Amino acid sequence: MVDFVRKYDGVKVDIKNFIVDREEIDKAYESVTKDEISALKFSKKRIESFQKSLLKRLKFRWYDKGKGVKVNNLTLPIESVGCYVPGGHLPYPSSLLMTVIPAKVAKVPRIVVCSPPMSDYRLDPILLVASDICEVDEIYKIGGAHAIAALAYGVESIKPVKKVVGAGNRYVTTAKILVSKDVAVDIPAGPSEILILADDSANPHFIALDLLSQAEHSPESVCGLVTTSKGLADHVISELEKMSKKTARAEIVTKALDSGFMIICDDMDEAVNFVNDFAPEHLEIVAKKLDRITAKIRSAGMIFLGSYSPVSAGDYCVGTNHILPTGGSSKVYSNLSVMDFVKRVSVVKCSKRGLSKMMKPISILARREGFVNHAIAVEERFKE
């Protein structure tokens, strides 16, 4: 594993061990501002609140009144999870929050984080502070596909986990798919995607800003606009040409936008059909009759409505999760949540009277399927 970390993570110094110790975490606080800590805690509080609300709705009691049947729906945490947090050249503390906090709300006993180190074999201080604020149990300086293998199978000082979650590049995503036959994984969460659905009422400057914001993730980012207005498309192109030349991370942004696209549709129904076929990770809808359009959307990782609901808000502080299905997988997958860290268990209690009322249909269905002993197991309880 040391050779992989040197080769693929680009580490230029000696590697003694993979784990981050308490001394490194304490020292990290010296390099993180009070405002940054406050921002982390603000985001943490909102994510926690959203996830707790979701978990509360998973726990319920169902009572078949008058028929003597009770069911308690319980949620039990997974024993251990590995959270992959992208990094290396730039830190992504928000991704740590998004993966760790739902696991904490689920009360997972062991939460492990792996993230690519910098060339001097350190993790960015803000990532360490975020891990401390979230009370991560173990954090390791390993990135890429080899980190996924370490989490899945264990290496040297790293014990394997029961489930691996988190977004990453195409190598990380492919590694998760490969290990999924041996260990549970979450959703296919690869390079970032944004698709904006807009009509002529949209602000082209805002649209250009949001396309740029997702393009800066990586050259592999997918950025698209589908619209019913050629005039809007022309204005957005003009805005992008002006801004992309002087924007931050210009080289990355330009490469991503070079493979981006704009589609002009005859009407909104055609545009919506394209959205559902494309199944984007992030979908922004900026148009008149928002409710009517939104009701027709069938596939999207997350939907942002109107001019003042940019993807950037969801990426950090809304309280929802930015670990989302990509590559068209939002047709069948949802965003990462507390539900990915719990097992839902139903506890059934029937009274004698309750079982007697179900005896006949149980017997009929069991015998029809050829499972006679299933039927007898119920029938015998009521023989004199």
Same domain, residue pair 128 and 212? no
Q: What is the pLDDT of residue 356?
A: 94
Same domain, residue pair 83 and 42? yes
How many domains does the chain fold into? 3
Same domain, residue pair 147 and 25? yes
Whole-number Å distance between alpha carbons of 42 and 258: 36
Yes or no: say if 155 and 292 are a contact pair by the CB < 8 Å rule: no
> pLDDT tens digits, the chain, 384 residues: what are they?
777 777 778 777 777 789 999 999 999 999 999 999 999 999 999 999 999 999 999 988 898 877 789 999 999 999 999 999 998 778 999 999 999 999 999 999 999 999 999 888 899 999 999 999 999 999 999 999 999 999 999 998 899 999 999 998 889 989 999 999 999 999 888 789 999 999 999 999 999 999 999 999 889 999 999 999 999 999 999 999 999 888 988 999 999 999 999 999 999 999 999 999 999 999 999 999 999 999 999 999 999 999 999 999 999 999 999 999 999 999 999 999 999 999 999 999 999 999 999 999 999 999 999 999 999 999 999 997
Residue 350 in any domain: the answer is no
Active site residue 281: yes
Same domain, residue pair 28 and 78? yes
> What are the residues whose beta carbons fall under 8 Å from the beta carbon of 190, sequence distance 6 or more?
167, 168, 169, 170, 172, 173, 220, 326, 327
Same domain, residue pair 282 and 374? no
- The CA–CA distances, whole Å, from 303 to 99, 186, 310, 330 equal 20, 20, 10, 11
**Which member of 281, 284, 322, 380 is catalytic?**
281
Q: What is the pLDDT of residue 40?
A: 97
Same domain, residue pair 207 and 315? yes
Same domain, residue pair 259 and 378? no
Domain of residue 364: give its range.
355-382
Q: What CATH number does the domain containing 257 carry?
A: 3.40.50.1980
pLDDT tens digit string along 321-336? 999 999 999 999 999 9
**Which member of 282, 284, 374, 384 is catalytic?**
282
Q: What is the pLDDT of residue 131?
A: 97
Q: What is the pLDDT of residue 189?
A: 82
Name the maximum alpha-carbon separation found in the chain.
87
Active site residue 216: no
Residue 40 in any domain: the answer is yes
Same domain, residue pair 170 and 39? yes
Q: What is the pLDDT of residue 13?
A: 74
Same domain, residue pair 363 and 279? no
